[in-house]
Every structure is written in C-alpha cells, then in structure tokens.
Chain A
Amino acid sequence: MKLGRVIGRVVCTQKMECFEGLKLLLVQPVDENGKEAGAALVAFDVARAGEGDLVFFEAGKEAAQANPNGWFNPADAAIIGVVDAVDGGGRSSGARK
C-alpha cells in the first residue's frame, strides 16, 4: 500500500465491462509528509474518494481483487481507503488539502 493524493478524475465511455460503474481517479503518490513520490497513476475507487482526498491505494495483483465486478480483471491499482489523518512522532497532518 502507498499513500496518494487524488488529483483528478478519469472519464472513459468505452472501457472493459469489468470497469463498468467504477470511478477512475488520477492519483499522485505522496510520502507521509505529503511530498510527491513518483509518477501519477490511474486507480479505480472502492472507498468513495474524491478530488483532493488523501488516500491509500494498493498496486499490483491485489488491486484487481478489490474490483466488485469480479476478481478476473486487468486493474493494477485500487484506492482502498480514505485517510483521515497521518500521525507520526508527535506531529499530525490533516488529510484534506
């Protein structure tokens, strides 16, 4: 799992059936301090995330397992949860930008 910031939404009319009804979001991976960490990617959402939210996502084959339309699909990233707060060593960072 990694932390990420939702920076946009991806709209596709023509897509594989296994992605029907799923929200596709553009996610910028970040570290625990909110600093960008790597290239943005597209992930489907199962945690009711929205633009600006800090989220955690799973990449790799485990992501496909989160697809409510069945496990046999080509997804490689899924937003698993919306982060309320990241607390570490006496400091706390709010989740919303």
Chain B
Amino acid sequence: MTLAKVVANVVSTEKHPHYKGHKILVVQPIDPEGKPKGRSLLAVDGVQAGIGDRVLVVDEGGSARAVIGDETAVTIRTAICGIVDRVDIEDVGAVS
C-alpha cells in the first residue's frame, strides 16, 4: 500500500464493463510529510474518497479486486482502500 492524495475525478462513459458503477480518481503518491513522490495514477475508489483526501492505495490486482468486492473484475489493478486520518512519525533525531 502507498500513501497518496486524491487530486482529480475522472468522468468516463465509454469504458470496460468491469469499471461500470465505480468512481475513478486521479491519485498522486506522496511521502509521509505530504510531498508528491513519483507520477500520478488512476485508482478505483472503494471507500467513498474525494478530492483533497489523503488515502491508502493498493496497486496489485488481487488486492484491488478484494477492495471493490468483485473477484471477477480481472482488469482492475489499482484501488483506494482507506482514507488516512493522520500519520504519526517517530522522531528519530539523527535522520535529517
């Protein structure tokens, strides 16, 4: 799982049947401090997330299908499985 921030909503009419009825969001992976890290990607929403939310994203087919509760949706690979309330980081001092 990775931390990410929801940055946009994708609207699509013509799509594969596996994606029908699912909200698709653009998520930007971030580090624990909230700094963007790497390229944005699209994820199917399993937890009613919205723009601006910090979320947990799984980028593996089996996990994503478990999130949306449909094991027959074999073309789906990325899903949002949690909305993050906060991240507590232990202060390790020596690490700058």
Using a CB–CB cutoff of 8 Å, the interface residues on chain A facing chain B are: 1-3, 31-32, 37-38, 46-49, 56, 58, 60-63, 65-66, 71, 78, 80-89
Contact = CB atoms under 8 A, between A and B. Distances in A.
For chain B, which range describes its interface: under 10, 10 to 19, 20 to 34, or 35 or more residues?
20 to 34
Contacts of B10: 3, 56, 83, 85-86
Contacts of B61: 60-62
Contacts, number: 93
B92 interface: no
Interface of B: 7-16, 18-19, 24, 26, 39-44, 51-52, 61, 74-78
B26 A86 contact: yes
A97 B65 CA distance: 33
A62 B8 CA distance: 23
22 contacts: A2-B41, A37-B39, A37-B40, A38-B39, A47-B14, A47-B16, A48-B14, A56-B15, A58-B76, A58-B77, A62-B75, A62-B77, A63-B75, A66-B18, A80-B19, A81-B16, A84-B11, A85-B11, A86-B11, A88-B51, A89-B7, A89-B52
